[in-house]
Structure 1
Amino acid sequence: MINTSRSPQMSDRPRTFNVLNILMKFHAFPGDSMNKFCLVEALVPVGAGAPPNHHAGETEAFYVLDGQIGFMVEGEEILAGPGDYVAIPDGAVHAFQAVGDGPARILILNAPGHMHETFFTGIGTELLDGQTTLPEPAAPDIPMVMAKAQESGMTMVVPA
């Protein structure tokens, strides 16, 4: 279940988005954390995830709360389940996808987080802040995703 509580110092802006068919709830934008980090809770349906990408200057880490996530980090495959933590080295090519019998729930920490805030909210569709169910799946607008990635400083890795 996506927690919808907010601390009093948080801005009053939309915090729940459909990003590539993933329900993303921003617990903290960089502006909420003195520009130190972005913290997102994600409900990821089986088969959904992030395509291979890399970015310099923005640390990223994942903590699996429920379900299973298959990660690829610099060509190494990692299967992570509840309680597992996966850190992405700065600039490393990485991807993830929910696998198994049901959706996965993960925490994503980005520091300082500005790049990911711009990218996730830029390609995402705002949802009601109380929404806890997965959005209806839809095909992503790939040219828009690629443009927003480039604009935010992220590089999507396109298979050769």
Structure 2
Amino acid sequence: MFDASPQQPLDPVAMPREEGEARWWLGCLAVTKLAAADTGGAMSIVEITEPPGAEAPRHVHHLEDETFWILDGSVTFEVGGTTFEAGPGDLAFGPRDVPHSYKVGPQGCRMLFILTPGGFERAIEAMSTPARTRTLPPDTEAPPDMTGLESQIAAFGCEMVEDEGAGHV
């Protein structure tokens, strides 16, 4: 984890839409727009494009809070036992140590993961391959290895958790 206390002044960062490190990660396109190294460890921002019906299994982050800002499409979130629908312009917050999951709607979605403090982009890099194009992975790409996912995410302060009944907002 990066030390969030500033050691030296940070440089400004401007990221055009078609720039950032693009990776194929667990069936989605993940583009790192702002890395912990750019912010003195304060945050990371990753643009995620998910196909229709994609699901993030219920898990918990122990090192960072995760904010989801929906740009296009729709997503159903479950955070801490509460379920809610989100569409373009909507935002959801998943505090660290609170289990959460999501399911993408029928049109797919594009959203920002805003992680504080930063550094989770290293987990994405470790569990992904460089994207050859800025599209969803082709059907010829190997499906995500969900059996090895638990040990992979544990190395980055995350864990898979059992599903619980959820309330609806």
TM-score by length of 2: 0.79
Two-structure CA RMSD over aligned residues (Å) = 1.9
AA in 2 matched with 1:66: D
- What secondary structure sits across from 2:62 in the alignment? coil
Whether 1:136 aligns to 2:138 is yes
Correspondent of 2:110 among 105, 113, 123: 105
Structure whose CA Rg is larger: 2
Deviation at 1:159, TM superposition (A): 4.8
Q: Which runs of 5+ in 1 are unaligned?
A: 7-14
AA in 1 matched with 2:138: E
Q: In 2 relative to 1, CA 122–158 (structure 1 residues): closer, same or farther, beyond 3 Å?
A: farther
C-alpha distance in 2 between matches for 1:122 and 1:144: 12
AA in 2 matched with 1:47: G
| 1:85-116 deviation per Cα after TM superposition (whole angstroms, max 9, x unaligned) | 1011221100112112x1201011001122x2
Q: Which runs of 5+ in 2 are unaligned?
A: 1-15, 165-169
1:149 corresponding residue in structure 2: 153
2:125 corresponding residue in structure 1: 121
- Structure 1 contact 20–49 (Cα < 8 Å) conserved: no
AA in 1 matched with 2:86: A
2:3 corresponding residue in structure 1: none
- Structure 2 contact 63–157 (Cα < 8 Å) conserved: no
1:27 corresponding residue in structure 2: 33
AA in 2 matched with 1:65: L
AA in 2 matched with 1:43: T
| 1:109-140 deviation per Cα after TM superposition (whole angstroms, max 9, x unaligned) | 001122x2232111111113xx3321124421
Whether 1:66 aligns to 2:54 is no
Identity between Structure 1 and Structure 2 (%): 29
Deviation at 1:17, TM superposition (A): 0.8
C-alpha distance in 2 between matches for 1:97 and 1:47: 6
Deviation at 1:158, TM superposition (A): 4.2
* Dislocated runs of 4+, deviation >6 Å: none
